[in-house]
């Protein structure tokens, strides 16, 4: 009977019920989006950093990897020292730079990464093979498109360009041996990778023995934080960054979005709560006479409360899945806007659906909506029966 009465009451005020469901659904969508935003980019970045299994990154003292043009001197001895440690499974040195490809009379510039192909963690091979010989290079689709070349072709490239003399320096003829996807670079960013020794030689003496970054993969079971502290204490010219440290930096830089997400998520929760409270209060006030009659004919107080709570529960239960669908659609739209950040790696998602977080948020909204009906329903069911009936009858 409770369910029938609750449903009849909702159906009797169709417009009001529909608007309430829509209002709660939009609140739920907003809350879901904000939960996805607050945790999504962190998780997305974490999985990006750990995707190749390197837990530590060494960059020039006081800098973040590739945040400046600074490089590590004597990088080869640093790599040798790292490889000699029992805790280290692999070390991948990376030198950043530029390659200028000659295209007719013009040049086409691309980001260049000098890597150790055997242990590199900067790209995924799509076609061909990694550069093993000194004159081999792998490039991404953006370079292939711009050059109009394919895997197997040769290109003339230089590491330096003097704009005043319009001359190229450190020129080499390189053979494209692979098509790759760079993990940490933007999708539309032209990039190429070649053996680090080749890039150093092309750069000239200033680059000898240097690296921009060294990535370290630890052996299974090694305590990452302890190893980071040990390396930091031992190596004075580099900053050692663990994944958690990098995430802390990311958190700091993107704290604006996280805080925005928390504020808007809280506002959504409050709006959902207020909406249901208002609806239930008005609904109870309208039906005071009806409630008093029910009480007068012997319906228990808890059954009256249960009926009203059921109404708010139905609104929440119908609105939450609608909100979930709406939230996923808007998250996709918002993510497509933020994905246009210049230089953002392709794999970074600002809005990441994590079932546990999403269900917790939506469950919280549903619970708050149901609780919002407790006070008005209890107040309605507790009114003095005779007085209320007389007032209702007299008007």
Residue 40 interacting with other proteins (CB under 8 A) = no
What 8-state DSSP symbol labels residue 205?
G
Which SS3 state, helix, strand or coil, does residue 163 take?
A: coil
Q: What is the DSSP string of 50-77?
A: HTT---EEEEETT--TTTSS--BTTHHH
Region from 4-12, 17-25, 296-304, 362-370 binding other proteins, contact rule CB under 8 A: 17-25
CB of 117 to other proteins, least distance (A): 27
d(CA 260, CA 386): 52
Residue 105 interacting with other proteins (CB under 8 A) = no
Nearest alpha carbon to residue 385 among 295, 262, 320: 295
Task: Compare residues 179 and 210 and give the one whose CB is closer to other proteins.
Answer: 210
| Residue of the chain from 132, 153, 341, 382 that contacts other proteins (CB under 8 A) | 341
| Residue of the chain from 47, 237, 244, 387 that contacts other proteins (CB under 8 A) | 237
CB of 63 to other proteins, least distance (A): 6
CB of 85 to other proteins, least distance (A): 21
* Token output for 4: 């029938």
Residue 22 interacting with other proteins (CB under 8 A) = yes
For other proteins, the binding residues in 66-85 under the rule CB under 8 A are 68-70, 73
> If binding means CB under 8 A, how many residues of this protein chain bind other proteins?
52
Q: What are the phi and psi torsion angles at 291 (to 5°)?
A: -65, -40
Task: Compare residues 302 and 341 and give the one whose CB is closer to other proteins.
Answer: 341
Q: What is the DSSP string of 110-124?
A: EEEEEE-TTT--SEE
Residue 394 interacting with other proteins (CB under 8 A) = no
For other proteins, the binding residues in 306-335 under the rule CB under 8 A are 330, 333-334
CB of 173 to other proteins, least distance (A): 26
| Residue of the chain from 109, 132, 244, 255 that contacts other proteins (CB under 8 A) | 255
CB of 190 to other proteins, least distance (A): 17
Task: Compare residues 77 and 154 and give the one whose CB is closer to other proteins.
Answer: 77
Residue 205 interacting with other proteins (CB under 8 A) = no
Residue 375 interacting with other proteins (CB under 8 A) = no
Residue 279 interacting with other proteins (CB under 8 A) = yes
Contact 159, 97 (CB under 8 A): yes
Residue 282 interacting with other proteins (CB under 8 A) = yes
Sign, CA torsion 303/307/312/318: positive
Residue 342 interacting with other proteins (CB under 8 A) = yes
Spatial neighbors of 1 by CB under 8 A, at least 6 apart, are none
Residue 356 interacting with other proteins (CB under 8 A) = no
As a dihedral over the C-alpha atoms of residue 140, residue 145, residue 148, residue 153, rounded to 10 degrees, the angle is 10
For other proteins, the binding residues in 108-167 under the rule CB under 8 A are 162-166
What is the chain's Cα-based Rg? 31
* Number of neighbours of residue 142 by Cβ within 10 angstroms: 19
As a dihedral over the C-alpha atoms of residue 338, residue 344, residue 348, residue 352, rounded to 10 degrees, the angle is -10
| Residue of the chain from 340, 356, 386, 394 that contacts other proteins (CB under 8 A) | 340
Contact 111, 98 (CB under 8 A): yes
* Token output for 131: 């550069």
Nearest alpha carbon to residue 276 among 150, 202, 181, 373: 373
With both helix axes pointing from N to C terminus, report the angle between 14-50 and 355-372 in degrees, rounded to the nearest 10. Answer: 150
CB of 179 to other proteins, least distance (A): 28
| Residue of the chain from 27, 189, 242, 377 that contacts other proteins (CB under 8 A) | 27
| Residue of the chain from 16, 175, 347, 379 that contacts other proteins (CB under 8 A) | 16
For other proteins, the binding residues in 285-304 under the rule CB under 8 A are 285-286, 289
Nearest alpha carbon to residue 238 among 1, 35, 73: 73
What are the residue ranges of helices labelled H in the chain? 2-12, 14-50, 75-83, 141-147, 196-203, 224-234, 243-253, 255-286, 288-296, 301-338, 355-372, 374-381, 385-394
Task: Compare residues 176 and 238 and give the one whose CB is closer to other proteins.
Answer: 238
Q: Where along the sequence are the contacts to other proteins (CB under 8 A)?
A: 15-16, 19-20, 22-23, 26-27, 29-30, 33, 60-63, 68-70, 73, 162-166, 236-237, 252-256, 260, 264, 268, 271, 274-275, 278-279, 282, 285-286, 289, 330, 333-334, 337-338, 340-342, 395
């Amino acid at each position: 009977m409770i369910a029938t009465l609750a449903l009849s009451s909702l159906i009797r005020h169709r417009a009001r019920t529909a608007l309430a469901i829509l209002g709660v659904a939009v609140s739920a969508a907003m809350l879901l989006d904000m939960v996805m935003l607050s945790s999504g980019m962190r998780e997305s970045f974490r999985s990006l950093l750990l995707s190749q299994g390197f837990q530590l990154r060494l960059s020039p003292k006081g800098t973040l990897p590739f945040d400046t043009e600074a490089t590590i001197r004597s990088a080869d001895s640093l790599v040798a020292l790292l490889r000699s440690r029992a805790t280290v499974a692999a070390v991948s040195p990376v030198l950043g730079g530029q390659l200028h490809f000659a295209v007719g009379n013009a040049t086409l510039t691309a980001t260049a990464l000098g890597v150790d192909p055997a242990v590199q963690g900067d790209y995924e091979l799509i076609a061909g093979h990694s550069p093993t010989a000194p004159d081999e290079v792998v490039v991404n689709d953006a370079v292939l498109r711009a050059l109009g070349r394919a895997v197997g072709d040769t290109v003339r490239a230089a590491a330096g360009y003097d704009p005043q003399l319009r001359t190229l320096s450190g020129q080499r003829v390189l053979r494209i041996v692979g098509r790759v996807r760079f993990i940490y670079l933007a999708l539309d960013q032209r990039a190429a990778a070649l053996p680090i020794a080749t890039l150093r030689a092309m750069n000239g003496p200033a680059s000898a023995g240097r690296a921009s970054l060294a990535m370290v993969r630890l052996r299974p079971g090694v305590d990452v934080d302890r190893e980071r502290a040990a390396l930091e204490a031992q190596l004075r010219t580099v900053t050692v960054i663990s994944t958690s440290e990098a995430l802390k930096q990311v958190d700091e830089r993107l704290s604006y979005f996280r805080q925005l997400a928390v504020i808007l998520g809280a506002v959504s929760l409050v709006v959902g709560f207020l909406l249901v409270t208002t609806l239930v209060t008005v609904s109870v006030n309208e039906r005071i006479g009806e409630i008093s009659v029910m009480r007068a004919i012997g319906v228990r107080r808890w059954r009256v409360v249960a009926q009203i709570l059921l109404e708010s529960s139905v609104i929440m239960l119908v609105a939450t899945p609608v909100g979930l669908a709406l939230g996923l659609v808007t998250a996709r739209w918002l993510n497509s806007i933020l994905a246009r950040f210049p230089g953002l790696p392709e794999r970074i998602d600002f809005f990441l659906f994590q079932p546990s977080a999403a269900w917790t948020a939506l469950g919280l909204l549903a619970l708050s909506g149901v609780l919002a009906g407790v006070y008005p329903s209890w107040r309605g069911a507790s009114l003095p029966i005779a007085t209320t009936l007389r007032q209702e009858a007299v008007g």
